[in-house]
Structure 1
């Protein structure tokens, strides 16, 4: 029994089909594995090429994929706007119910070209509750929201708590700007800081 007969007996495919399937599996593996290369391993060849050409002075500084979370403490809405992802050296922050989360790990979503970039550097409470991309809904005002909308907001808040570090909070006057958050259930964030 030759190799071709063994391949056909084992796989049920002709030798040509078996080789094609194997080649496709290898190509898929190589493509998928390149998606998981860390930026640290991808950056040095570019830097080495620049140094070989004598352009070390022109080399772009290495910016980590996202900065380490920095506790901002109490931050106003005006200060929060500086953390919208446009400056790669700064974190991307989003406020929900007065709590500020560092969403830099989600730069693909919240960064300047991301589908949710509108929320970066803003209080997105109302917009998340309404599942809205309207600029007028980028506020902490929860007045007039239905119980179902408040539940949607609570779900978003739980997702943010699980995925992103809590790094600060809005002052009470900014957290309730535009309304007194009637109907909003208070959320205890002290447990996660303990």
Structure 2
């Protein structure tokens, strides 16, 4: 009685007869086992000679020390006001420095996106620069790497707002660009 209920539920859920559903399940399992055996050799682990307990303990402690020392993304450093000239030094070429990008005067630490914004990344052109206009126009032209919004239409500004929202959501704000007047007058940037 219960088996018949299961068979009816299986047919209603999958649209297949119980025999077809079980056959497909068995084939999927066999395929999984075949493919996974290509990547993991079950005999490899058992054929390795066992290490003495003291040596295993030392390796484990060493592994823990290495794990503790590894910090993938350090906390972002607040830079405050920064000039365009100083921003250029944060282009990802120096692995000890964060990767920064400015949008509408706000400076974001995009180090977490190093694959995208780092030296070999598809968006490396934006690193260490004010990418406001380029993002609004979805342009990779170096001429557009500026904060100038003059001549942009409502659609361009909407695209820019979408980019800005994405950056605010994903990356920490670490400072703001110094205004050109302040930079020219007293060079007060970081």
- Contact kept in structure 1, 2:83 and 2:183, CA below 8 Å: no
Q: For this pair of structures, how many residues does the alignment match?
A: 141
- What stretches of structure 1 of length at least 5 have no aligned partner? 1-8, 32-47, 52-61, 178-194
Q: Is this contact kept in 2: 1:140–1:176, CA < 8 A?
A: no
Pick the aligned partner of 2:175 from 168, 173, 177. 168
* SS of alignment partner, residue 146 of structure 2: coil
Work out which of the two has the higher radius of gyration on C-alpha atoms and give 1 or 2.
Answer: 2
Give the Cα–Cα distance (whole angstroms) in 1 for the partners of residues 127 and 118 of structure 2.
7
Match of 2:133 among 126, 135, 142: 126
Q: Is the counterpart of residue 115 in structure 1 residue 122 in structure 2?
A: yes
Q: Which has the higher contact order (CA 8 A, sep 6+)?
A: 2
In structure 1, which of residues 69, 76, 86 is the aligned counterpart of residue 76 of structure 2? 69
Measured against aligned partners, the alpha-carbon deviations of 1:35-72 in whole angstroms (never above 9, x if no partner) come to xxxxxxxxxxxxx7xx9xxxxxxxxxx77433321111
TM-score, normalised to structure 1, is 0.61
Greater helix content: 2
Distance across 2 between alignment mates of 1:174 and 1:80:
17
Instruction: Classify 1:154/1:176 alpha carbon distance in 2 versus 1 (closer, same or farther; 3 Å).
Output: farther
> Please, which runs of 5 or more residues in structure 2 have no aligned partner?
1-16, 40-58, 63-68, 185-190
Relative to the length of structure 2, the TM-score reads 0.62
* Structure 2 SS opposite 1:168: strand
What value does the CA root-mean-square deviation take over the aligned residues? 3.3
Provide the secondary structure at the position in 1 that maps to 2:151.
Answer: coil
